[in-house]
Amino acid sequence: MKTVFSPLHNRRTATTELDGGILIAPHEKPSRAETILSRVKQQQLGDVLPPQEFGLAPVLRVHTQDYVDFLRTSWEDWTAEGKPGEAIPAVWPGRGMRHRVPKDIDGRLGYYSFAAETSITEGTWEAACASADVALTAQALVAGGEPAAFALCRPPGHHAHADLFGGYCFFNNAAISAQAFRDQGARRVAVLDVDFHHGNGTQSIFYQRDDVMTISLHGDPDLVFPHFLGFEDETGEGPGEGFNMNLVYPPGTPFGVWRDGLETACRRIEAYQPDALVIALGVDTFEHDPISFFKLTSADYLLMGERLGKLKLPTLFTMEGGYDVDAIGVNVVNVLRGFESAR
């Protein structure tokens, strides 16, 4: 399987993440992508290609113009105000308040975000654009006949809504790619999110549609980020009713339990008969992940990949979370090798 990778991911080098009342060094750091790339090469998964540039048109198929404009200028606008640190949202339109876009950068940061852990920094825009290009380049490989491709995206994307950043995400690479499959003629596309966290952005973008099915397995949002979406009674709306599925698990969940959810998800996908599959691939389900509470082992990722491969669908993997950097390369490449072993 081919991997698409851009060194421009390195433009995303935030130094702050608000956590526990202090600013820590972000979990979502450049070494994550570099470690995965090394493992891909060492295991000879396949060629590593640079992205092509797609511009903003495919991004604007799922994100709003005003949000994209905000992201492009937010760092400039922040520094122009003479702010000393990284751009951290700290105010939101709460219940009963107006949902209008303020002029001031503090107001706009809050309007276009849903959480405060993710700082906007110099280079964030460039890295987010490169990450979308990585996804779209890998998507084009699959649309062009490759059975599968790995988009080594960084920053990740699955938390980003049409007009909200948060959870380390800016552009929703999985959603942009799913929409690209549709725009290129796929009748139905499934997005399966195996990251530890709920893919709230992806769910939200396609919630009222039946042409893109979204399924996410994740830690119970009653207990963990993103807290306000991802419950099992969210099944889609209007024409989208029945085309969103959330599979929620408690702390300590081992692969033996998680894999039943994967089986449920795979059977739903089989019944849907999509023309293409996007896997939002996070490995923060790992037993030693520093911010998560599932108990998957490195060997489990081979089995996960095998089950995904048995779907026998044209498959795009987009990289999402995973923060045990010592294990991230092994775990990601295990999914991809397990996948290939089943084809």
Peptide bond into 155 cis (omega under 30): yes
Please report, as a single letter, which amino acid is at residue 65.
Answer: Q
x/- map, 17-36, ligand OKS, by CB under 6 A = --x-----------------
Q: State in angstroms the smallest separation of the CB of 219 from ligand OKS.
A: 10
Q: Is 320 in the site for ligand OKS (CB under 6 A)?
A: yes
Q: Which partner in Mg ion, Zn ion, ligand OKS, none is near 216 (CB below 5 to 8 A by kind)?
A: Mg ion
CA dist., res. 179 & res. 168, Å (int): 21
**Closer residue to Mg ion in complex, CB, 117/195:** 195
Q: Is 216 in the site for Mg ion (CB under 5 A)?
A: yes
Question: What is the token pair recorded at 294?
Answer: 């599932």
Answer for which of 51, 58, 167, 236 binds ligand OKS (CB under 6 A) is 167
x/- map, 302-321, Zn ion, by CB under 5 A = -------------------x
Q: State in angstroms the smallest separation of the CB of 138 from ligand OKS.
A: 19
Question: What is the token pair recorded at 201?
Answer: 């952005």
CA dist., res. 40 & res. 38, Å (int): 5
Give, as ranges, the residues between 277 and 296 that touch ligand OKS (CB under 6 A): 282, 284, 291
**Closer residue to Mg ion in complex, CB, 12/197:** 197
x/- map, 185-224, Zn ion, by CB under 5 A = ----------xxx---------------------------
Q: Is 201 in the site for ligand OKS (CB under 6 A)?
A: no
Radius of gyration of the chain, Cα coordinates, nearest whole angstrom: 19
Q: Residue 82: which region, alpha, beta or left (left: phi > 0; alpha: psi -120 to 50)?
A: left
Q: State in angstroms the smallest separation of the CB of 87 from ligand OKS.
A: 17
Size of the site for ligand OKS (CB under 6 A): 14
**Packing angle between helix 298-309 and helix 255-272, nearest 10 degrees?**
20
Residue closest to 118 by CA, chosen among 260, 15, 254: 15
Q: Is 89 in the site for ligand OKS (CB under 6 A)?
A: no
**Closer residue to Mg ion in complex, CB, 137/285:** 285
Report the 3 state secondary structure along 246-299.
Answer: EEEECCCCCHHHHHHHHHHHHHHHHHHCCCEEEEEECCCCECCCCCCCCCECHH
Q: Is 195 in the site for ligand OKS (CB under 6 A)?
A: yes
Q: State in angstroms the smallest separation of the CB of 97 from ligand OKS.
A: 23
- Cite the DSSP H helix spans in the chain: 30-42, 65-80, 105-111, 124-143, 173-183, 200-206, 255-272, 298-309, 325-341
Q: Which residues are catalytic?
A: 159
Size of the site for Mg ion (CB under 5 A): 4
CA dist., res. 11 & res. 4, Å (int): 17
Q: Is 86 in the site for Mg ion (CB under 5 A)?
A: no
Q: State in angstroms the smallest separation of the CB of 283 from ligand OKS.
A: 10
Residue closest to 292 by CA, chosen among 305, 302, 283, 304: 283
Site of interaction with Zn ion (CB under 5 A): 195-197, 282, 284, 321
Site of interaction with ligand OKS (CB under 6 A): 19, 117, 158-159, 167-168, 195, 197, 225, 282, 284, 291, 320-321
